A and B are shown apart, each in its own frame.
Chain A
Amino acid sequence: MKRVLLLIGSVLSFGLLVALIPYSSSQLQSSIASVPQPLAVDPVVLRSLQIQYKGLKKQLAQFAPHQHYILVDTARNHLYIKRSQEIVLDAIASTGSGVVLDKPGEGNTQWVFDTPRGEFTVQSKLTHPAWVKPDWAFIEEGLMVPKNPADRVEQGVLGDYALGFGKGYFIHGTLYTRLLGKNVTHGCIRLNDDDLKSVYQLARVGTPIMIF
């Protein structure tokens, strides 16, 4: 009797192991202990739930930008201007390279050349911007950082316009249009001249910039 029971147990255990393997999300599985169970469809309760749900949807919709907003896909190097669900502009961009540079004399600290992800706003709009080169621009080329601030200023490399979105990051033009579509910048977002002009015209100070 014992042997028979052991044999049955072994067969069932083997079956269990086989059954484990082909699980997929078509057999979505989980403990259901405390997941809300279906309610009896009381029309009053249902109506109340519908009102609550619609109210929440409406509240959430109010957070969405009602004017143009800028959307930046850093993985695919595209900048979009959208209004509601409509794409007003689809531009090829260049965003952060993700490489790092050691800060000399500061131990193990580094500059990380990423385009920041998250939500920002246009904080400034500039025409004919000059580039005030930060320390890393000299260090990465093996040059000494100048003591005279005037030696940091470089004209004509950022295009005709620049839109600042905080912490020194800008949407600006580029001399290196062949690199558009690639992750090559120090964190800023580069566009060609025509797209930059469109962005400058459509965006205003306060326009949301969503970057992912």
Chain B
Amino acid sequence: MLAMLVSIVLSVLLLFPVPGWAAEGEVFPDLDINDPVALQEGSRVLEEELKLAARAQTYLLIDLVSGVIQIKARGVDLHRLPIAAWTVTELPRLTGTFRLTARPPVVRRKIDPSATTEQEPISLSDMPTEYRLSFTPAMTMDVESAAEQGAMGWIHTTSRKAWNQLRIWRQHLGGVQSSSEAPTLNITLSSEQAQSLAWSTVDGMPVVIRRPLEP
């Protein structure tokens, strides 16, 4: 009887969404300098960027506040990929620098010296629109395309989102401070931007994430 009551109470609680992370509508780094929390997060990201910009490399800044992925080097914004939508688990653990360890395989065409016709080169359109990027420390980023997808694709995406949502709610209800599960970032981009991101990532590429804060 008691278990049944607890189940009902939990179900009632689950029906109400947890507080959302509203986008602040400001463009980093021009954040509200009168907001101490935004300043703290901005400074944290800048400290990470300083370490990355000191070396000859490109890196990604995933700005969840502005809704954009930036390809950067030396602190310079090289290219921007607008984010259509995102969800995340374990947001508080998305600090520090993550390094790319696994990215989608690219089917490369092989030159056949005995062939009379040239092999078609790889182009942006050969890149996947839905894929997973894995990082160390443990973090996964699922990239999906905002383009229309088939029924199976919709079921797959919706199931994954529902599963992530259940994990988020479980953490929230359980007051979990730090679980053993790796953070998962689910990013929706346009098809072209998803392909562009797959194209531009390289093994070991560092990633910094700017997190939205409690409004």
Provide the residues of chain B in CB contact with A156, threshold 8 Å. none
Contact in complex: B92, A25 (CB < 8 Å): no
Contact in complex: A118, B85 (CB < 8 Å): no
Provide the residues of chain A in CB contact with B56, threshold 8 Å. 118-121
Answer whether residue B17 sits at the interface, using C-beta atoms and an 8 A cutoff: yes
Q: Mark A30-72, 1 if CB is under 8 A from B, else 0.
A: 1111111111010001100110110011011101110001010
Provide the residues of chain B in CB contact with A212, threshold 8 Å. 58, 71, 78-79, 200
Contact in complex: A119, B74 (CB < 8 Å): yes
Answer whether residue B147 sits at the interface, using C-beta atoms and an 8 A cutoff: no
- Taking the closest CB of chain B, its distance from the CB of A16, in whole angstroms, is 5
Provide the residues of chain B in CB contact with A139, threshold 8 Å. 113
Provide the residues of chain A in CB contact with B27, threshold 8 Å. none
Contact in complex: A28, B21 (CB < 8 Å): yes
Answer whether residue B15 sits at the interface, using C-beta atoms and an 8 A cutoff: yes
Q: A39-B37, A60-B46, A100-B111 are in contact. Are A16 and B11 (CB under 8 A)?
A: yes
Contact in complex: A45, B4 (CB < 8 Å): no
Contact in complex: A12, B33 (CB < 8 Å): no
CA gap between A142 and B88 in the complex, in Å:
52
Answer whether residue B199 sits at the interface, using C-beta atoms and an 8 A cutoff: yes
Contact in complex: A59, B168 (CB < 8 Å): no
Answer whether residue B138 sits at the interface, using C-beta atoms and an 8 A cutoff: no
Q: Mark B105-123, 1 if CB is under 8 A from A, else 0.
A: 0101111011000010111
Count A-side interface residues using an 8 Å CB cutoff. Answer: 75
Answer whether residue B5 sits at the interface, using C-beta atoms and an 8 A cutoff: yes
Provide the residues of chain A in CB contact with B171, threshold 8 Å. 31, 33
Answer whether residue B102 sits at the interface, using C-beta atoms and an 8 A cutoff: no
CA gap between A208 and B74 in the complex, in Å:
10
Answer whether residue B75 sits at the interface, using C-beta atoms and an 8 A cutoff: yes
Provide the residues of chain B in CB contact with A45, threshold 8 Å. 36
| Interface-lining segment among A1-9, A124-132, A146-154, A192-200 | A1-9
Answer whether residue A184 sits at the interface, using C-beta atoms and an 8 A cutoff: yes
Q: Mark B165-205, 1 if CB is under 8 A from A, else 0.
A: 11010011001111000000000100000011001101000
User: Which residues of B64-86 are within 8 A (CB) of A?
Assistant: 64, 67, 71, 73-76, 78-79, 83-86
User: Which residues of B134-179 are within 8 A (CB) of A?
Assistant: 158, 161-162, 165-166, 168, 171-172, 175-178
Contact in complex: A6, B4 (CB < 8 Å): yes
CA gap between A212 and B110 in the complex, in Å:
23
- Taking the closest CB of chain A, its distance from the CB of B175, in whole angstroms, is 7
- Taking the closest CB of chain A, its distance from the CB of B157, in whole angstroms, is 11
What are 12 A-B contacts with C-beta separation under 8 Å? Answer: A5-B8, A12-B12, A12-B15, A19-B17, A31-B92, A32-B91, A33-B175, A34-B178, A60-B46, A97-B119, A99-B122, A210-B73
Which 9 interchain pairs have the tightest Cβ spacing? A98-B122, A97-B121, A12-B11, A28-B21, A30-B91, A56-B46, A34-B92, A142-B113, A25-B85
Interface residues of B (CB under 8 A from A): 1, 4-5, 7-8, 11-12, 14-15, 17-23, 29, 33-34, 36-37, 39-43, 46-47, 49-50, 53-54, 56-58, 64, 67, 71, 73-76, 78-79, 83-92, 106, 108-111, 113-114, 119, 121-124, 158, 161-162, 165-166, 168, 171-172, 175-178, 188, 195-196, 199-200, 202, 211-214
